[in-house]
Amino acid sequence: MTDLINTAVIGHPIEHSLSPLIHNHWIAEYGLRGEYAAVDIMPDDIKQGIQNLIDQGYAGFNVTIPHKEAVLNLCQYVDEAAQKIGAVNTVKISENGSLSGFNTDHYGFIQNIKAHDSQFDFAAGGAMVLGAGGAARAVIYGLCKQGVPEIRLANRTMEKAEQLALDFPEAPIDVVAWDDREYAAEGVNMLVNTTALGMSGMDGLDYSLDHLASDALVTDIVYNPLYTDLLQAAKMRGNACVTGIGMLLHQARPAFEKWYGVLPQVSDDLTEKVLEALR
């Protein structure tokens, strides 16, 4: 019989997290023993909350809003990606209770595009990135690792984009004004929305694709709705579209592997389950 391995996602609020569904699906699919729980921890209780998981013998946990930055400072080891991105989304707890922090969001972003088009050549052209928050940092880290030659970065608060560019000195980033975000898409290979705009309950993105090449790929990290206004408009004009749900699914894979020793696959069955939960 395999070892009992318990894991969790921590955040606040946490009840809408789809991570338990994803990881428990894989635990069953790969015949493993354990459970992936959703644990609500208030920001002020983060240290004690994590200590409780250690004391209960958890093998590790995912981290979501609002703890991704705080947990980075509680880890004894932090991998290069999490350090650069400034956020930890995956923690492995060692036998002696020490914490290793990782960031798998950049992997999820890249793998989602590769799952759509395994031949997609990131190095063949520039990328237009909207937004300069935590998600943008993961996206830019991933794009740089893939050799994207140029990143045009537009954010409502320009200083945040400028700070991001300073934090990634090796990245080929051109900060452009938010008002120029549509013109700036001219000639790029891909357009990425990393802002929360377009998410159900939020304002729309308000973005015309008139300047985007018809063969550019468009992707949105927002997955609720699955087809945001941006993706619908892109689809209408024939651009390749990659929805955000795959980023969520693929970022979970290396986390699962760290705890359970199996790199799981994103099956149609799992994708359908997650989409059903969103409906």
Query: Is residue 254 within the footprint of ligand ATR (CB under 6 A)?
Result: no
Shortest spacing between CB 155 and ligand ATR, in angstroms = 5
Cis (ω within 30 of 0) for the bond into 66? yes
Q: Report the alpha-carbon distance of residue 53 to residue 20 in Å, rounded.
A: 16
**Which residue in the shown chain puts its C-beta closest to ligand ATR?**
133
User: What distance in Å separates the CA atoms of residue 230 and residue 236, rounded to the nearest whole number?
Assistant: 10
What residues form DSSP beta bridges with 192?
A: 129, 219
Q: Does 219 bind ligand ATR (CB under 6 A)?
A: no
| 114 annotated active-site | no
- Residue placing its CB nearer to ligand ATR in the complex, 58 or 168: 168
Residue closer to ligand ATR, measured from CB, 118 or 200: 200
Q: For residue 175, list its beta bridge partners.
A: 153
Q: Would you say 6 or 243 has its CB closer to ligand ATR? A: 243
Helix 105-116 / helix 245-260 crossing angle, nearest 10 deg: 120
251 binds ligand ATR (CB under 6 A): no
Q: Does 156 bind ligand ATR (CB under 6 A)?
A: yes
Q: How far is CA 153 from the centre of its chain?
A: 18
Among residues 22, 144, 184, 197, which is the contact residue for ligand ATR, using CB under 6 A?
197
Longest dimension (CA), the chain: 59
**Binders in 96-155 for ligand ATR, by CB under 6 A:** 131-136, 155
Q: Is the Cα dihedral 75, 81, 82, 88 positive or negative?
A: negative
Q: Any contact of residue 195 with ligand ATR (CB under 6 A)?
A: yes
Does 157 help bind ligand ATR (rule: CB under 6 A)? yes
Which tokens hold the place of 277? 């939960």
Report, as residue numbers or ranges, the catalytic residues.
68
Residues that bind ligand ATR (CB under 6 A): 131-136, 155-157, 160, 194-197, 203
